[in-house]
Amino acid sequence: MNRTIAEKPVEKLSEDEAREELARLAAEIAKHDRAYYELNAPLISDAEYDALRRRNAEIEARFPHLIRADSPSRRIGAPPAREFAKVRHRVPMLSLDDVFTEEEFREFFARARRFLGLPSDAPFHFVGEPKIDGLSISLTYERGEFVRGATRGDGIEGEDVTANLRTMPAVPVRLHGDAPDLIEIRGEVFMSKADFLALNAAQEAAGERLFANPRNAAAGSLRQLDPRITAKRKLSLFAYAFGATSEPIAKTHWQFLQRLKHWGFAVNPLSRRIGSEAEAATFYQEMAEKRASLPYDIDGVVYKIDDLALQERLGFVGRDPRWAVAWKFPAEQATTVLEEIRIQVGRTGALTPVAVLQPVNIGGVLVRHATLHNEDEIARKDIRVGDTVIVQRAGDVIPQIVGVVLAKRPPHAKPFVFPDHCPVCGSLAVKPPGEAVRRCTGGLTCPAQVVERLIHFASRPAFDIEGLGEKTIAEFYADGLLRGPVDIFRLPDQEAKIAAREGWGEVSARKLSQAILARKRIPLDRFIYALGIRRIGEVTARQLARHYGSFRHWREQMLAARNPGSEARVELDSISGVGPAIAEELVDFFSEPRNIATVDALAKILTIEDVEAPRTGSILSGKTIVFTGQLTSMTRQEAKARAESLGAKVTDTVSRKTDYVVVGDDPGSKARRAAELGVRTLSEAEWLQIAGIKENTAAPT
Ligand code: IVH
């Protein structure tokens, strides 16, 4: 490269120099486009990239006859597709609850027995499968042909990586033998330890970035915009579950695994049929011993109840099935020195102590911070700054401090004194008797709380605004670009200002605007969750959205519920899964005029989508139902879960709004009240029929 030409001001370039410079810029910009868009690994900052493009444009303006056919300014639509299309999974892709001990494992399935109303010694048959540490994908087959493949994404919506999956020999393009009209196959894409080492060696030789572990290598290889790159990476797949299907495909999970093999998928050969919890524990030990010698990384064992009819009855809580669990391998531990205890202030004002550690490698991950939970925990374990502490890390959870190595305590280490004022805004921090957490009383005057609320608001399960992460929010807040959630939607008007910020540029500023504008439509449940009201997690937000249906109705009812004797308050309290503590938080939130103003300002600029009852074709869809008395064929918990999956809203009290009351044995006042109000009652047999469950144990009507 000719340094002197590259450094010359545009107005001083001769025609020959300009020609040479345009050629250099075209090649240079193409290289950076590739690094940015295809490899996901920019080599220069956005500002430097913009400077290259600007120089190219300026030279072209001076010498229009020199504009090259391959000039970066001519490329139509400028950047190539920089994102994958989104795909909605027909059936959500869920995750698994974790357990770490045999006791927790047994308790998990004891809960499943209680849910089903089975005796505590009723046997379960399971399938045990090694838990592969890769990334899950969903493959859709129509009439046996592979038509679409997607990443898990947030479980509801993933990224369309069909073209990349097609390059993988492990993904059959056509199913062998007889296949249903429609089936979504789920499995884990991973890279073997050997292929990972070979890939990193090649990356190193080529001066490219190295991957931290096989999981990242697999994810990085699958999420390539250029499928030719994916094709060169060695990716493997084990299939282990299904999503939507057009017909029943097996009676047991084990049978399903056999069909998978027959269709042409690899199923982990270590998968095993297991007859009891005791056998499951043996299998776990075996896998733990095998772990190091396996050609791929595993981080535990997944146990699934074998009987698919039982799986169906057990259903899900939130994102996790009640019929499967991941029994993870034990946490890995190391010792290091505790350098400082920092107090973080959360979204709801909670003061959380965080351990700042001398960096230590635990199971391949460099750990610098650990949670200390709360002040009681520090006192109980008598953790002091300067102590040598035992740190443990398990799965994705934040590392924890297990204890102190007292023999190594420095002589002058003092017990930690927990602050009684907020370290950020100086407001009093109070700890109500009986509670473990001390909270800042500053509310919205406390910058830490405001920033944390904004982070929550933009986070993945809430508004999911890509590019608006913790660091950006904190910086924008500090510089006055953001004060509250409404300001987020004003950021696109300030694109030029953002582009001019250090570390930004036109490309990333535009990307951020697009990400924000794309989220001006939001489903009601995400909106409610995003508000960050205490105790309102994703599950409760969904419950509320389902119950109230529309933003207007929800808002109106929340305002009315402030009156303790109101019908709205009774209704709120009676929503299954809500309860008085949650109702109290909602009422508190809506008693604060500033909160109402924020909610209304947001509603003005957003389109908040109504939540419709799932179209299940059931007569229960969208209806409100109450259960009373003892059901003989299923537990109350199962009945509620079943009704909800059929699109019904389950409440605990009978009112004029109730559509059906299912009356079991020994009904109490609710059946009387139903009669008074003229609400339709259903016998258990009628309920079973509506629920689509074959009656065998129910009493005759
Ligand atoms: S079953 C509803 N089986 O673990 C059940 N998952 O923590 C869905 N995984 O997202 C998952 N090996 O990426 C299942 N044999 C296996 C698995 C497995 C690995 C991963 C999967 C899932 C995560 C849940």
The answer to whether residues 403 and 455 belong to one domain is no
Contact 291, 329 (CB under 8 A): yes
Of all atoms in ligand 1, which is nearest to the CA of residue 241? 1
Using CB distances shorter than 6 Å, the residues near ligand 1 are: 94-96, 129, 131-132, 136, 188, 240-241, 302, 321, 324, 326
Tell me the residue type at 664.
G
**pLDDT computed for residue 614 by the predictor:** 67
Q: How confident is residue 596, by pLDDT bands cut at 50, 70 and 90?
A: very high
Ligand 1: residue whose CA is nearest its atom 13: 136
Secondary structure of 526-537 in HEC code, one letter for each residue? HHHHHCCCCCCC
**pLDDT computed for residue 76 by the predictor:** 42
Residue to mutate (ligand 1; options 96, 242, 283, 320; most atoms within 8 A of CB): 96
Q: Is the pLDDT of residue 3 over 80?
A: no
Q: Is the pLDDT of residue 476 over 90?
A: yes
Looking at per-residue pLDDT, the higher value among 205 and 447 belongs to 447
Over the stretch 487-523, which tens digit does the pLDDT of each residue have? 999 999 999 999 999 889 899 999 999 999 999 999 9
- Identify the CATH number of the domain in which residue 674 sits: 3.40.50.10190
Q: Is the pLDDT of residue 586 over 80?
A: yes
Among the candidates 502, 519, 536, a domain finishes at 519
Question: d(Cα 441, Cα 21) in Å, to the nearest integer?
Answer: 61
**pLDDT computed for residue 325 by the predictor:** 97
Structure tokens at 488: 């987020």
The answer to whether residues 362 and 475 belong to one domain is no
**pLDDT computed for residue 701 by the predictor:** 31
Tell me if 616 is assigned to some domain.
Answer: no
Question: d(Cα 386, Cα 337) in Å, to the nearest integer?
Answer: 6
Q: How many CA atoms are closer than 13 Å to the CA of 70, on its beta-carbon side?
A: 11
Q: Is the pLDDT of residue 368 over 80?
A: yes
Structure tokens at 496: 């030029």
Over the stretch 291-343, which tens digit does the pLDDT of each residue have? 988 999 899 999 999 999 999 999 988 788 999 999 999 878 889 999 999 99
Tell me if 433 is assigned to some domain.
Answer: no
- Identify the CATH number of the domain in which residue 22 sits: 2.40.50.140
Tell me if 415 is assigned to some domain.
Answer: no
Q: Measured in angstroms, how far is the CA atom of residue 241 from the centroid of ligand 1? A: 8
Q: Measured in angstroms, how far is the CA atom of residue 182 from the centroid of ligand 1? A: 21
Q: Measured in angstroms, how far is the CA atom of residue 177 from the centroid of ligand 1? A: 26
The answer to whether residues 394 and 269 belong to one domain is no
Looking at per-residue pLDDT, the higher value among 394 and 657 belongs to 657
177 exposure class (CB count in 10 Å sphere: 0-12, 13-18, 19+): exposed
H/E element holding 470? helix 470-478
Among all residues, which ones are annotated catalytic?
Answer: 131
Tell me if 221 is assigned to some domain.
Answer: yes
H/E element holding 327? strand 324-328
The answer to whether residues 487 and 565 belong to one domain is no
**pLDDT computed for residue 344 by the predictor:** 93
Of all atoms in ligand 1, which is nearest to the CA of residue 268? 15
Which domain does 17 fall in, by range? 10-75+331-408
Q: How confident is residue 419, by pLDDT bands cut at 50, 70 and 90?
A: very high
Structure tokens at 397: 């959870």
Torsion of CA 42, 43, 49, 52, to 10 degrees: -140
Structure tokens at 54: 């600007």
Of all atoms in ligand 1, which is nearest to the CA of residue 95? 24
**pLDDT computed for residue 80 by the predictor:** 39
Over the stretch 150-198, which tens digit does the pLDDT of each residue have? 999 888 888 999 989 998 999 999 999 999 999 999 999 999 999 999 9
Ligand 1: residue whose CA is nearest its atom 23: 95
Looking at per-residue pLDDT, the higher value among 241 and 79 belongs to 241
Tell me the residue type at 262.
H
- CA distances 402 to 190, 331, 405, 473, Å, are 32, 11, 10, 32
Q: Is the pLDDT of residue 241 over 90?
A: yes
Question: d(Cα 693, Cα 631) in Å, to the nearest integer?
Answer: 14
Q: How far apart are the first and last CA of the chain?
A: 90
Structure tokens at 532: 């960050």
Residue to mutate (ligand 1; options 191, 215, 302, 312; most atoms within 8 A of CB): 302
Q: Measured in angstroms, how far is the CA atom of residue 137 from the centroid of ligand 1? A: 10
Contact 252, 273 (CB under 8 A): no
Over the stretch 562-578, which tens digit does the pLDDT of each residue have? 999 898 998 898 887 78
* Residues 456-484, mean pLDDT to the nearest whole number: 94
The answer to whether residues 194 and 313 belong to one domain is yes
Tell me the residue type at 352.
T
The answer to whether residues 377 and 454 belong to one domain is no
* Residues 671-677, mean pLDDT to the nearest whole number: 89
Structure tokens at 1: 């490269």
Cross-strand bridge partners of residue 327: 99, 301
Least confident of 160-174, 276-290, 442-456, 632-646: 632-646
Question: d(Cα 260, Cα 501) in Å, to the nearest integer?
Answer: 53
**pLDDT computed for residue 38 by the predictor:** 56
Mean pLDDT, the chain, integer: 89
Ligand 1: residue whose CA is nearest its atom 9: 131
Alpha helices, DSSP H only, in 500-550? 506-517, 524-530, 538-548
* Distance from the Cα of residue 238 to its chain's centroid: 22
The pairing of strands 607-609 and 521-523 is parallel
3-state helix, strand, coil in the chain (%, to 5): 40, 20, 40
The answer to whether residues 222 and 140 belong to one domain is yes
**pLDDT computed for residue 228 by the predictor:** 83
Q: Which residue has the tokens 């290889």?
A: 221
Question: d(Cα 85, Cα 150) in Å, to the nearest integer?
Answer: 10
Over the stretch 98-114, which tens digit does the pLDDT of each residue have? 998 999 999 999 999 99
Give 209's DSSP letter.
Answer: P
Ligand 1: residue whose CA is nearest its atom 11: 95
- Identify the CATH number of the domain in which residue 544 sits: 1.10.150.20
Helices (H) and strands (E) in the chain, counts: 26, 26
The answer to whether residues 147 and 270 belong to one domain is yes
Q: Is the pLDDT of residue 218 over 50?
A: yes
Of all atoms in ligand 1, which is nearest to the CA of residue 133? 19
Q: Is the pLDDT of residue 657 over 50?
A: yes
Q: Which residue has the tokens 């500033």?
A: 594
Ligand 1: residue whose CA is nearest its atom 12: 131
The answer to whether residues 35 and 60 belong to one domain is yes
What percent of the chain is predicted at pLDDT more than 90?
60
What percent of the chain is predicted at pLDDT more than 70?
94
Looking at per-residue pLDDT, the higher value among 82 and 390 belongs to 390
Q: Measured in angstroms, how far is the CA atom of residue 327 from the centroid of ligand 1? A: 11
Among the candidates 519, 547, 577, a domain finishes at 519
Tell me if 417 is assigned to some domain.
Answer: no
* 3-state SS, residue 574: helix
The answer to whether residues 70 and 190 belong to one domain is no
572: number of Cβ within 10 Å: 25
**pLDDT computed for residue 306 by the predictor:** 98
The answer to whether residues 67 and 111 belong to one domain is no
- The set of residues, in sequence order, having a beta carbon less than 8 Å from that of 672 and lying 6+ positions away, is none
Tell me if 438 is assigned to some domain.
Answer: no
Q: How confident is residue 694, by pLDDT bands cut at 50, 70 and 90?
A: low
Q: Measured in angstroms, how far is the CA atom of residue 131 from the centroid of ligand 1? A: 7
Task: Provide the number of structural domains found in the chain.
Answer: 5
Of all atoms in ligand 1, which is nearest to the CA of residue 135? 13
Q: How confident is residue 612, by pLDDT bands cut at 50, 70 and 90?
A: confident
The answer to whether residues 158 and 195 belong to one domain is yes
**pLDDT computed for residue 366 by the predictor:** 80
